[in-house]
Each structure stands twice: as C-alpha cells, then as structure tokens.
Structure 1
Amino acid sequence: MIKKTLYFGNPAYLSLRSSQLVLNLPDANGMDDKSGRNTIPIEDIGVVVLDHRQITITHALIEKLVSNNCAIITCDQSHMPQGLLMPLSGNSVQGERFAHQLSSSVPLRKQLWQQTVKAKITNQAILLKDVRSNVNTDNMHHWASCVASGDSENHEARAAAYYWGNIFDIDNFRRGREENPPNNLLNYGYAILRAIVARSLVASGLLPTVGIHHHNRYNAYCLADDIMEPYRPFVDKVVLKIIDSGLDYSELSKEVKWHLLSIPQTDVLINGKRSPLMVAVSQTTASLYSCFEGSSRRISYPQFEN
C-alpha cells in the first residue's frame, strides 16, 4: 500500500483518536470531530509535513506516528524543511542488523558506493537526454561505465558539473542551496526525498547515521544521503515539470509545494517493474541490508522508463 504524504500549512490542531489522526482547523467551523471526515488512519500515513507556527500536535499522536515509522518533517519560517523526527527502533531484529551494517568491510562499502554513483550518473544522463535532446550524453554514459570502486576518480562530480550546466534552460544556472530559483524547489524536493529514504532505512533495521560514503560527525543521516543519490533525478524531473507548467517558482507557493509533495507517488522502474517511488525506496533499503548481511552484492536502484 502506498503511504500518504500529509501537508499542513494552516493553523491546525492534530490529535489522536482510536488509531486515527484527527484534524481540527480553527477556521473550518463545518468540520465535525465525530463525523470521521477529518480523520485519517495512522497506518495509511508515511510522511507528515508541518509548515505553520500555529500547528498544535499532541504527544499521543506523535508517539503513534513514530511507532508506525512515519517521518515527521517540520519547516522553518521560510517554509523550508528543517527538522526530521524518526523512530529509534524500526525493526524487530534491529540489533542483529546494526551489527551486520557496522561490521561491513571497507571494500564492500566502496563497491556499494560505486554502484550508487553509476546508477545516479545513468539516471542523470537519461533525464538530460529526455528533456534536452540536443545535448550529447554519451560522455555521461562513458563516465558511468568508468566509475571505479569508491569512485576514486570522482566521476560523480564531473558528471554533476555537466548535468547542472545543461539540465535547465536558464542562463548561468548554478546548483547550490543558497543560489537562485529553482534551487528552492530542488532543496525542498530533496528534503522530502531524504525523509522517505531515512524512513525506509529505519524500517529495514539500518542506522541512517552510518554511511557507505558520506561521513560527517554533525550529520545524523549520512546513509540516507548516500542512498538517495540515484533518486535525485526523479526529483529533478518533478521540478522541470513545475518550470515547464509556467507556475511562478520564485516562491514556494502552495501550488508549487503540492507538486513537490507528489514525489513519493512518482512512478519509477525498479527490478523490471513500475513502482511508486516510496515503495521502490523500501526495496532499495531492503537490498542494501542484504548486501551488509552477505546474501547479495548488489543494491536495487530505480531507473527511468525508456
């Protein structure tokens, strides 16, 4: 079942009743708390985005959401995702799985990063060719094929420079968190993607903090940052659609955010089958654990349909 992504951008009171999220809006006098029209089963929720300073959420609801492995995202005053609340325990044999992850060898982690970078560059190349048919992508496919263990020659950076220089039909576009739009859309979309990946890692019994490549003492989601890399082009595709639609993307309007919140339901191709991105991520993290455990040597990553 595809889990719902819920976005709250107005004053609201969120509480729990009979394993249901109960929504009450101060300005919506017509909502009857007993009618059931304003309730959502907890088991149907995958991501909750809280984007207003006048949202009140009860501890009972937080506890229930977290225990059902729901990612709760809080936004700052500029409406950008800022915080992520995740469960400490998401798998019944978590200790055993932690042990496999923490004891994984350096050569294995380098091989897994090699697979990750190859998948990312390949997806970037396919998307770039699809939206900019006049741009040559043979070099990107060549770089993908040349990625060595651990990406020792940093083909990821070489491909990124070429990709970002051509993907948008915008003069002097530069990719950066503080750069001009549509970087605001990319930042928001990647934050949603990061939460989805972190949620699935926890469900697979893995530590999101311990990466296969990213290492930062201040980053609690290094592994999520690793595993989300091949999924980034799917976010880029959503951003391109927003730009092409003619919407004003200089600000994160509700309509723009509505499109970005569709990312979990975006179709991808994984293991030869079409699947919503959120479901595909769970297959990716499950395959990652199989690599740590020793029953597999390959991570299942998505790709674009031809």
Structure 2
Amino acid sequence: MIKRTLYFGNPAYLSLKNAQLVVKLPEVEKNDSLPEHFKKQSERTIPVEDIGVIVLDNKQITITHGLLESLLENNCAVITCDRKSLPVGLLLPLYGNTTQNERFRNQLDVSVPLKKQLWQQTIQYKIRNQAAVLGGMRQVVVKNMLVWANEVKSGDSNNIEARAAAYYWRNLFVEIPEFTRDREGCPPNNLLNYGYAILRAVVARALVTSGLLPTLGIHHHNRYNAYCLADDIMEPYRPYVDELVVKIVDTGIACKELTTELKAQLLKIPVIDVMIDGQRSPLMIAVGQTTASLYKCFTGELRKILYPEKV
C-alpha cells in the first residue's frame, strides 16, 4: 500500500488518539468568536499506519511524544525544516525489521569488491536515467551518455559519473544561462534541493524498513554524514526529481521563492510512477523493492540491485 506524505506549513497541534493522528489548529481553537461545533469540525484525523513521510515546516507546530512514538513504530520518516523552509532534520525508527541484528551483520561483512560492483551498477542506472530525462525533455543527443554508462568500471574508478553530470546539467536548463548545479546556486537549485531531501527521506525510510543501516554506504563515506547509504541508493532516482523540476520550470512559474504551491508539487515525489522490474509502481514502493534487493545482494542471494529504468 502506498503511504501518504503529509506537509504542515502552518501552526498546528499534532497528537495521537486511537491510533489516529489528530490535527488541531491553534488559530481556530483560541478563537472564542467561533462556535464549538465549527471548532470540532476543524479537527482532522488520519490513520498513523497510512503515513509514510511527515514534513514539519513551521516553528509553531507542537507534536506529542505519543504521536512521535506511534509514527516511528509504523516506520514513518519525520522531516523538520529550518527557517528557510528547507529540510534540516530527519527522524527514523531505530528498529525497522524483525531480524535487525542479522541484517546489520550481513551489511557490515560486505566485501569491498561487492561494494564496488554495486556502485558500478548504481552509476550505470543513474546515467541511463539521466539520458532518458535529457533526451525526453530537451531532445538533445544522449548517445554519448549511453556509451559512458556502458564504460563505467567497478567502483566507477574512471569517474564517468562526473563526466555525465557535466554534460547533463549543461543541457538540462539551457534557458537559464547562469545555472550550474550547486546547493547554494541560483534557482531552480532550491527546488532540486527540496526534492532531493524528500527523496532522501523516502530512501532512508526504506533502508530502515529493510533492516539496513543508512549510515554505512557502499560508496559515500563522509564521516559527518549519517545517511551515506541513502545517498548512494537514491542516485538512480534523482533523475525523476530532475524531470519534475524541469516540468515546473517549463511552466514559467517563478521559482526564486520556495512557495507552498511549489512544495506541494515536489511533495508528489513519493507517488511518481516509475518502471521497475517490468512493472509500473509508485516511487515509494519501488524504493522498497530496491532496498530489499540490496539486502539480498549483501547476503549473496542476488548480484544485482533492482533499480527503476526510465523509458
């Protein structure tokens, strides 16, 4: 079942009652001029088991410990945002699988050659998906990217990823001459940053559900990064975020400020349709298939990660 992504951008009081998330609005609760029946009708309830991701984007949001406990027990990812409304924190359950200890050990025992092979596969899928977005959205030559994907070696020792990225970003936003892909760069970098943060949370949640440690990557190993594995596994999924951002930009809408309307469109990322294993699936479900296949690679049951392919 596809889980819901909830966004809270206004002051709210979030609590738990009968396994339901209860949403109350302080402005309504404290307004004595409103009738009681209206106040009660303003309350919303949502089954906790239906929630996959929650985004908290207001300093005046209050959330009870009981609700947090229930959300984590149901493998929900809780994202908190900073004053610029950009995701700054991610809360995940400590235990997402019944065989957690065994799975951690299998992950810790993975050999370096296997990690390099898995990274090779990851980059190949990423470049192919980038080529599909670039060819589909900008109708530019992508045969070179497909050739590069086939040239990726174990561990991407020849750094084909960087070569493909340079060509990709140079041609994706040609109508914005000053654009370079940089976290602090000009728009639509702000949209990309927000979209990737949502994607990262979805991937991290799926890794925990599969009983894996999001910290221990197959390639990324920054000592200050708590989500190295999530950053690895999300790579082939990034082009789906890029494609959504391109569609938004092409409408001509102003992107300098990350408005509520823009966030609403980016929060659709978990339900984007992708093709994986020959079937259409919402991105959130596909990510779960990817992380499950990754664990099987760690145990030796598989030699290939299951990633989506853009067509």
Which TM-score band (shorter chain)?
over 0.9
Q: Work out whether residues 57 and 82 of structure 2, in 8 Å CA contact, stay in contact via their aligned partners in 1.
A: yes
Q: 1:6 to 1:32 in 2, by over 3 A?
A: farther
Q: Report whether the alignment pairs 1:62 with 2:68.
A: yes
C-alpha distance after superposition, 1:130-151 (max 9, x if no partner): 0111x21111001000000000
Aligned counterpart for 1:213 among listed residues 206, 219, 222? 219
Q: Which residue of 2 aligns with 1:18?
A: 18
Q: Work out whether residues 114 and 149 of structure 1, in 8 Å CA contact, stay in contact via their aligned partners in 2.
A: yes
- What stretches of structure 1 move > 4 A for 4+ residues in a row? 29-37
Give distance in 1, aligned partners of 2:183 and 2:6: 25
Q: Which residue of 1 aligns with 2:161?
A: 156
- Deviation for aligned residue 1:217: 1.0
C-alpha distance after superposition, 1:42-82 (max 9, x if no partner): 00000000000000000000010011110000000000000
Give distance in 2, aligned partners of 1:222 and 1:50: 23
- Deviation for aligned residue 1:170: 1.4
SS in 1 for 2:171: coil
Q: Tell which deviates more after alignment, 32-41 or 174-183.
A: 32-41
SS in 2 for 1:166: helix
Give distance in 2, aligned partners of 1:301 and 1:218: 27
C-alpha distance after superposition, 1:202-231 (max 9, x if no partner): 000000000000001111000000000000
C-alpha distance after superposition, 1:171-225 (max 9, x if no partner): 1310000000000000000000000000000000000000000001111000000
Aligned counterpart for 1:109 among listed residues 115, 125, 140? 115
- Deviation for aligned residue 1:33: 7.4
Q: 1:45 to 1:36 in 2, by over 3 A?
A: farther
Q: 1:129 to 1:38 in 2, by over 3 A?
A: same
Give the residue type in structure 1 aligned to 2:298: F
Aligned length: 304
Q: Which residue of 2 aligns with 1:145?
A: 150
Structure 1 segments unaligned to the other structure (5+ residues): none
Q: Work out whether residues 25 and 42 of structure 2, in 8 Å CA contact, stay in contact via their aligned partners in 1.
A: no
- Deviation for aligned residue 1:247: 1.6
Give the residue type in structure 1 aligned to 2:161: E
- Seq. identity, %: 65
Q: Work out whether residues 115 and 218 of structure 2, in 8 Å CA contact, stay in contact via their aligned partners in 1.
A: yes
Q: Which residue of 2 aligns with 1:91?
A: 97
Structure 2 segments unaligned to the other structure (5+ residues): none
Give distance in 1, aligned partners of 2:26 and 2:42: 17
Q: Which residue of 1 aligns with 2:49?
A: 43
SS in 2 for 1:21: strand
Q: Which residue of 1 aligns with 2:194?
A: 188
Q: Which residue of 2 aligns with 1:222?
A: 228
SS in 1 for 2:309: coil
Q: Which residue of 2 aligns with 1:136?
A: 141
Q: Work out whether residues 122 and 236 of structure 2, in 8 Å CA contact, stay in contact via their aligned partners in 1.
A: yes
Give distance in 2, aligned partners of 1:205 and 1:219: 19
Give distance in 1, aligned partners of 2:186 and 2:253: 16
Q: Report whether the alignment pairs 1:199 with 2:205.
A: yes
Q: Work out whether residues 215 and 228 of structure 2, in 8 Å CA contact, stay in contact via their aligned partners in 1.
A: yes
Give the residue type in structure 2 aligned to 1:242: I
Give distance in 2, aligned partners of 1:214 and 1:156: 14
Q: Report whether the alignment pairs 1:250 with 2:256.
A: yes
Q: Work out whether residues 247 and 256 of structure 1, in 8 Å CA contact, stay in contact via their aligned partners in 2.
A: no
Give distance in 1, aligned partners of 2:27 and 2:205: 33
Q: Work out whether residues 23 and 43 of structure 2, in 8 Å CA contact, stay in contact via their aligned partners in 1.
A: no
- Deviation for aligned residue 1:36: 9.4
Q: Tell which deviates more after alignment, 111-120 or 25-34.
A: 25-34
Q: Work out whether residues 66 and 86 of structure 1, in 8 Å CA contact, stay in contact via their aligned partners in 2.
A: yes
Give distance in 2, aligned partners of 1:131 and 1:102: 40
Q: Work out whether residues 132 and 167 of structure 1, in 8 Å CA contact, stay in contact via their aligned partners in 2.
A: yes
Give distance in 1, aligned partners of 2:38 and 2:305: 47
Q: Which residue of 1 aligns with 2:282?
A: 276
What TM-score does the superposition give when structure 1 sets the normalisation length? 0.97
C-alpha distance after superposition, 1:259-291 (max 9, x if no partner): 000000000000000000000000000000000
